[in-house]
């Protein structure tokens, strides 16, 4: 489902599969992100580039992390990035999370240049690292994602199966778990400007990019303000250090202002 | 000094390790800086899972590392505590000739014997900590 933005379709797909694919709701905001990334890359390189998907013509794998950090820092310096990123899927996010929403503190950037093995994020779920199962990831393709430069995702049923298999892969690792279940992986081939909204409970990842194009994508997480967070061990992926409030409903504002500490 | 193209692969954990707890982004910054100082190209780390004694990502990192590869983590306390897991790790280290780098301990360990030696020091440190607590308890009661 890419052609046009229909919030109902996205919400329905999400409810059914725990992920939804749709074009950015506000294409002009997407264009601003794309342009900002290009400007930042050109500032780092000190010269113009032909296109973002040929970034590998200008940088080596050894340099890729430096340019990624430069663009990441530039994007996160923009005061309006949180509202802008939300605008890529306003209606869907509002429908799923309601008026009280938290957003991840930082906007993440992935750059997968051809044949680069140093930037891979193998099979994982966000919840396995301590993030809230009430969270969703909004992933946006900045360049076309296709073939081996596309991310993959496992649907609800397959993800549950992978969870159950995890302990028996202690010594074999996640890559082997992926190889043994790759038939169930769904590769997300989408054009630049497409968004994928998926639950943090779903397994996903990427592979070595064997295409001749660089893939660039953005990702950021949302959850409803008061939804539970993983608390069994102390860690930083909680409100204040990982998420922060983006929108508060009028009722929530009243509740937060209410002071019942009256001394008699 | 490694060649500029030589990679060092990171490993981070969201769990407390030994007597420490450190946010993942802070671990990542330290590893990146270490890689730069040592002249390696930094390969992004896989993040371990939250479950106690789970080292799926660590073993995945070791299994996918090239022969003679380098692995960097913040502390040796992030190595497995379970004996069978540790033995498996040392077996892979020997078979693949891997070098572990521990930023906190400022140690580079190219063979299982080095790791075992360090673990012995760690046990002594744990006993010393325990003894200090015992000393305090005794002092409170005399």
Give the pLDDT confidence score for residue A132 in this predicted structure.
Answer: 93
Chain B residues within 8 A of A233 when measuring between CB atoms: 14-16, 50
Q: What is the mean pLDDT of chain B?
A: 89
For residue A14, the model assigns a pLDDT of 95
pLDDT at B47 over 90: yes
CA distance A225 to A243: 9
Q: List pLDDT tens digits, range A10-54.
A: 999 999 999 999 999 999 999 999 999 999 999 999 999 999 999
Q: Are A133 and A217 in contact (CB under 8 A)?
A: no
What interface predicted TM-score (ipTM) does this complex get?
Answer: 0.73
pTM score: 0.85
More confident residue, B141 or A133: A133
Per-residue pLDDT band at A60 (split at 50, 70, 90): confident
CB contacts, 8 Å: A120 with chain B = 44
Extended strands (E) in chain A: 19-23, 101-104, 108-112, 136-141, 152-153, 186-187, 194-199, 204-205, 215-224, 243-247
Q: pLDDT digits over A150-177, tens only? A: 999 999 999 999 999 999 999 999 999 9
How far is CA B37 from each of CA A114, B1, B2, rounded to the nearest angstrom?
26, 10, 11
A126 Cα to chain B: minimum distance (Å): 9
What is the model's pLDDT at position A4? 66
Rounded Cα–Cα distance for residues A20 and A105 (Å): 23
Confidence of residue A107 (pLDDT cuts 50, 70, 90): very high
In this prediction, residue A103 carries a pLDDT of 97
State the pLDDT confidence band at A262, using cuts at 50, 70 and 90.
confident
> Which of A67, A68, A129, A232 to substitute to test the interface with B, most B CBs within 10 Å?
A129
pLDDT tens for A114-149 read 999 888 888 999 999 999 999 999 999 999 999 999
For B3, residues 6+ apart whose C-beta sits below 8 A from its C-beta are none
Is residue B105 a contact partner of residue B119, using CB atoms and an 8 Å limit?
Answer: no
Q: Give the pLDDT confidence score for residue A57 in this predicted structure.
A: 97
What does the alpha-carbon distance between residue A192 and residue B142 come to, in Å, rounded to a whole number?
A: 74
Selecting from B5, B15, B56 the residue whose C-beta is nearest the C-beta of A233 gives B15
pLDDT at A177: 96
Confidence of residue A5 (pLDDT cuts 50, 70, 90): low
Of B21, B24, B49, the CB nearest to A234: B21
Domains of chain B: 7-111 (3.40.50.1390)
CATH fold of A7-257: Jelly Rolls (2.60.120)
Residue count of chain A:
264
The answer on pLDDT for B89 being more than 80 is yes
Across the range B61-71, mean pLDDT stands at 96
Q: State whether A173 and B61 contact (CB < 8 Å).
A: yes
Q: Give pLDDT, residue A2.
A: 59
Q: What is the pLDDT of residues B6-20, one digit of tens each?
A: 899 999 999 999 888
Q: How many CB atoms lie within 10 A of CB A114?
A: 18
Whole-number Cα distances in Å, A88 to A101, A195, A197, B91: 15, 8, 11, 49
- Round the average pLDDT of chain A to a whole number and report it: 93
Q: What is the pLDDT of residue B4?
A: 59
Which residue in A178, A181, A193, A167 sits closest to A29, CA to CA?
A193
What is the band of A258 on the pLDDT scale with cuts at 50, 70, 90? confident
A173–chain B Cβ distance below 8 A for any pair:
yes
Q: Which residue among B7, B44, B50 places its CB closest to the CB of A129?
A: B50
Give the pLDDT band of residue A264 (cuts 50, 70, 90): confident
Listed by start position, the domains of chain A span: 7-257
pLDDT attached to residue B15: 94
- Residue B135 parent element (H or E): helix B112-140
């Amino acid at each position: 489902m890419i052609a046009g933005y229909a919030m109902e379709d996205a919400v329905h797909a999400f409810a059914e599969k725990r992920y939804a694919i749709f074009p950015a709701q506000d294409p002009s905001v997407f264009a601003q992100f794309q342009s900002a990334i290009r400007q930042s890359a050109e500032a780092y390189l000190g010269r113009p580039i032909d296109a973002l998907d040929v970034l590998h013509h200008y940088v080596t794998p050894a340099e890729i992390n430096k340019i990624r950090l430069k663009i990441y820092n530039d994007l996160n310096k923009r005061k309006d990035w949180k509202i802008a990123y939300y605008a890529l899927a306003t209606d869907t996010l509002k429908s799923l999370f309601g008026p009280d929403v938290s957003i991840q503190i930082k906007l993440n950037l992935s750059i997968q240049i051809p044949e680069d093995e140093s930037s891979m994020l193998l099979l994982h779920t966000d919840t396995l690292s301590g993030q809230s199962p009430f969270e969703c990831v909004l992933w946006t393709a900045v360049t076309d994602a296709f073939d081996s430069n596309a991310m993959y995702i496992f649907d609800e049923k397959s993800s549950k199966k992978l969870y159950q298999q995890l302990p028996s892969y202690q010594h074999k690792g996640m890559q082997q778990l992926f190889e043994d279940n790759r038939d169930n992986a769904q590769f997300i081939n989408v054009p630049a400007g497409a968004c994928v909204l998926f639950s943090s409970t779903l397994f996903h990842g990427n592979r070595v990019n064997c295409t001749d194009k660089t893939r660039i994508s953005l990702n950021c997480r949302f959850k409803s303000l008061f939804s539970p967070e993983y608390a069994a061990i102390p860690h930083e992926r909680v409100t204040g250090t990982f998420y922060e409030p983006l929108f508060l409903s009028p009722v929530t504002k009243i509740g937060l202002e209410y002071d019942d500490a009256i001394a008699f | 000094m490694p060649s500029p193209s030589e990679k060092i692969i990171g490993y981070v954990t969201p769990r407390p390790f030994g007597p420490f707890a450190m946010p993942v982004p802070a671990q990542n910054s330290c590893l990146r800086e270490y890689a730069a100082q040592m002249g390696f190209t930094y390969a992004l780390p896989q993040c371990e899972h939250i479950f106690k004694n789970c080292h799926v990502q660590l073993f995945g990192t070791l299994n996918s590392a090239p022969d003679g590869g380098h692995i960097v983590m913040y502390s040796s306390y992030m190595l497995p505590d379970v004996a069978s897991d540790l033995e498996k790790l040392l077996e892979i280290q020997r078979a693949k000739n891997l070098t572990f780098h521990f930023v906190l301990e400022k140690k580079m360990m190219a063979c299982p014997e080095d790791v075992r030696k360090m673990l012995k020091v760690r046990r002594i440190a744990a006993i010393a900590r325990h003894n200090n607590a015992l000393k305090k308890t005794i002092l409170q009661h005399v």
